[in-house]
Amino acid sequence: MVLKKIVFCNVTFYEKEIMRIRSICYSNEKQIETVIATRNFIDQNFEEELNLDFLSHIRFTSKFHLLRLFKRYYGLTPGQYLIFRRLEKSKEYLKKGMRVSETCYAVGFRAPSSFSTLFKNKFGLSPSEYQKEQLSQRDE
């Protein structure tokens, strides 16, 4: 009889430890699901007009909560990630020879001037300089 109580207590202790460790390592699975789904949505719809209000609405969560979660898991806010995604895609379009203004609108930016400024800050070259460099490398 006493032996059974000890085994039961040990199982309970280990179950508690497993739950404690799991909560540290895996946090809240719903939070992870929300953040991953938000990132996937941005990846698939980056050329659309997206904002924090809209992203939080489609995931049924507070925009401030989504902002904190996204930043915690990816190190960027959803807005920063959206800009990053657009700039990366713009490099592909420029390599293919798409005009800078067409590229700007194709990836979801509203103004070529802000697109060019962000592009130059990120990559150190203006979009047209980057395109010339890429096209000359392709021709060689």
User: Is 27 contained in some domain?
Assistant: no
User: Is 121 contained in some domain?
Assistant: yes
User: Is 128 contained in some domain?
Assistant: yes
Phi-psi region of 126 (alpha: psi -120 to 50; beta: other; left: phi over 0): beta
What local confidence, expressed as pLDDT, does residue 3 receive?
46
CATH number at residue 129: 1.10.10.60
User: Is 135 contained in some domain?
Assistant: yes
What local confidence, expressed as pLDDT, does residue 63 receive?
93
Domain count of the fold of the chain: 1
What residues have CB less than 8 Å from 84, skipping those under 6 apart? 76, 122
User: Is 18 contained in some domain?
Assistant: no
Rg over CA atoms, the chain: 23
- Provide the CB-side half-sphere exposure for 40 (13 A, CA): 8
User: Is 129 contained in some domain?
Assistant: yes
Task: Please give the residue range of the domain that contains residue 102.
Answer: 86-139
User: Is 93 contained in some domain?
Assistant: yes
Token digits of residue 36: 């991953």
**Stretches in the chain below the pLDDT threshold 70:** 1-11, 14, 22-27, 140
User: Is 60 contained in some domain?
Assistant: no
Q: What is the pTM of this model?
A: 0.76
Look at the block and give the residue holding tokens 């996204």.
70
What local confidence, expressed as pLDDT, does residue 131 receive?
94
Other Cβ atoms less than 10 A from the Cβ of 83: the count is: 20
Torsion of CA 119, 123, 129, 134, to 10 degrees: -120
